[in-house]
Amino acid sequence: MTPLRVGAVGYLNARPLTWALDRDAERWQVRYDVPAVCADLLRSGQVDLGLTPSIEYLFGEDYRFVPGVGIGSDGPVASVALYTTGPVADVRTIALDTSSRTSVTLIKVLCRHAFGISPTFVNAPPDLRAMTSAHGAAVLIGDPAFEADHESLGLLKTDMGETWRQMTGLPFVYAAWTGRPGAVTARDIEALVAAQADGLAHIPEIAAEYAAGDPAGQARAARYLRDNVRYALGEPERRGLQLFLDHAADLGLGPRRQVLFF
C-alpha cells in the first residue's frame, strides 16, 4: 500500500485527529506544520489531504471536505483569541498571527459584525508581549494562545469562538480534512472517522505527551480537549461553516461565495 500523503497541524487541538495516523505509517505519511503551511502544501499538490484552515475552501474550486471530522468549538475555544490592552471598542490596530488564515479572517468578520470597529491589521510573529506592546491588540492561535498568560501582561482576552457563538448561535469550524475529488477513497474516510474516535478515546495519553512531567499541565490539556474543542462536523457545524464562508466572501476575503461539498 502506498501511504496517503497528509499535511496536518502540529497543535495540541489536532492531536485527537492524528494520534492514530501516526501509529499506521503504512497507510498515512503525515507531515506536520502550522495551518497556513498545510494549506499551501495542499494547493501545490505536495499532499493528497490537508488539515487546512476552513477558509481555504474558498480558494480551491474543486476542494471537498471529509464528512464528519473537523476542529471546531461551540462556545469558548480557549486557543483562538483577541488580546487587548483596553476595551475592544477602542482598538485601532490589531497584530495578526498569520499561522492560521481562518482566524485572521474570523477576526475581520467579528470586527465588522460583532465589534463594530474598523481597525488596521498588521502581520506579526506570534509573540504576545511584542504584538500588544507595539499595536495594543493581537490575535493569537493554537498552542501559543493556549499557553499565553495574558493576565500577567495586563491584557484582556476575548475568546473568538465564544464571540462567534454569541453572534450567530452556531458552532465554528477552524479546520477540516480537505482534498480534491478522488484524493481519498470511502475506506480512507472511514479510517479518518475511526482515527478521530480512537484519538478521543486516548485524550489522557495525548495530554500526557503534551505536558510531560507536569500533572497540572496534563489535566489542563485534557480539559481543553474535552471541554473546549469539538471534533464533530455535523449539521450545526456545517451551517456555521457556511455562514462564516459567506461572510468572508461578502467582505472580499475570498474570491467568491461557494456552497459546501463533502
The answer to whether residue 92 is domain-embedded is: yes
The CATH number for 49's domain is 3.40.190.10
| Burial class of residue 245 in the structure, from the number of CB atoms within 10 Å of its CB (0-12 exposed, 13-18 middle, 19+ buried) | buried
Residues 193 and 246 in one domain: yes
pLDDT at 124: 94
Q: Which three cell numbers stand for residue 173?
A: 469550524
Domain termination site, one of 151, 168, 185: 168
φ, ψ of residue 155 to 5 degrees: the values are -105, 155
89 Cβ partners below 8 Å, 6+ apart?
A: 115, 116, 117
Residues 199 and 213 in one domain: yes
The answer to whether residue 255 is domain-embedded is: no
pTM of whole model > 0.75? yes
pLDDT at 89: 97
Q: In a structure prediction context, what are the per-residue pLDDT tens digits for the chain, which is 262 residues long?
A: 789 999 998 999 999 999 999 999 999 999 999 888 999 999 999 999 999 999 999 998 799 999 999 999 999 999 999 999 999 999 999 999 888 789 999 999 999 999 999 999 999 999 999 999 999 999 999 999 999 999 999 999 999 999 999 999 999 999 999 999 999 999 999 999 999 999 999 999 999 999 999 999 999 999 999 999 999 899 999 999 999 999 999 999 999 999 999 8
The answer to whether residue 159 is domain-embedded is: yes
Number of domains in the chain: 2
Which range of residues forms the domain containing residue 179?
4-72+171-250
Nearest to 72 by CA among 260, 239, 254: 239
